[in-house]
């Protein structure tokens, strides 16, 4: 009899991180908990900073066989050899990301509170869909 899959943790990096200390902090967390995936979600759009952070975190996640995805940078995910991308535009970029990254890549989609967008993202090939506020809003404090 197959054991049903159990939920796993999906971690999101802080929007700003210090590369001299964060990889070691992340390693300690990954060693202590069963984590399926880490999302690099920096607030900067500076590609050099994002690439340096991705390189540093990839060493930590690869050593533990944990997926590393990047927020909203399909081309950087491909160029850096990351495990996938997390898209914040609902279903709009899912097909492009799937075509660019291939069938083995992780493609996730944030659909805010829209069931319709979630269904469309799933039909377009997203591996996972996330919903809800993840930052402070009128509906929630973001925690």
Query: Which tens digits make up the pLDDT trace of 33-44?
Result: 999 999 999 999
Q: Is the pLDDT of residue 45 over 90?
A: no
What is the CB-side half-sphere exposure of residue 136 using CA atoms within 13 A?
A: 1
**Which pLDDT belongs to residue 3?**
73
Residues 6+ apart with CB under 8 A from 30: 38, 60, 61, 64, 66
Q: Is the pLDDT of residue 13 over 60?
A: yes
CA dist 115 and 94 (Å) reads 16
Residues 6+ apart with CB under 8 A from 137: none
**Which pLDDT belongs to residue 88?**
93
Q: Is the pLDDT of residue 1 over 80?
A: no
Q: Is the pLDDT of residue 4 over 80?
A: no
CA dist 137 and 77 (Å) reads 29
For 9-130, CATH gives: 3.20.20.70
Helices (H), 6-131: 22-32, 47-63, 74-80, 94-101, 115-124
Mean pLDDT of the chain: 91
């Amino acid at each position: 009899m197959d054991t049903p899959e159990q939920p796993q943790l999906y971690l999101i990096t802080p929007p700003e991180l210090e590369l001299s200390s964060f990889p070691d902090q992340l390693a300690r967390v990954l060693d202590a908990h069963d984590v399926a995936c880490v999302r690099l979600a920096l607030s900067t759009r500076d590609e050099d900073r994002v690439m340096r952070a991705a390189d540093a975190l990839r060493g930590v996640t690869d050593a533990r066989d944990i997926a590393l995805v990047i927020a909203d940078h399909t081309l950087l995910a491909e160029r850096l050899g990351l495990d996938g991308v997390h898209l914040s535009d609902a279903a709009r970029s899912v097909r492009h990301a799937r075509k660019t990254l291939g069938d083995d890549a992780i493609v996730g989609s944030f659909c805010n509170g829209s069931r319709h967008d979630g269904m469309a993202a799933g039909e377009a090939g997203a591996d996972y869909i996330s919903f809800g506020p993840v930052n402070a809003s009128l509906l929630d404090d973001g925690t």
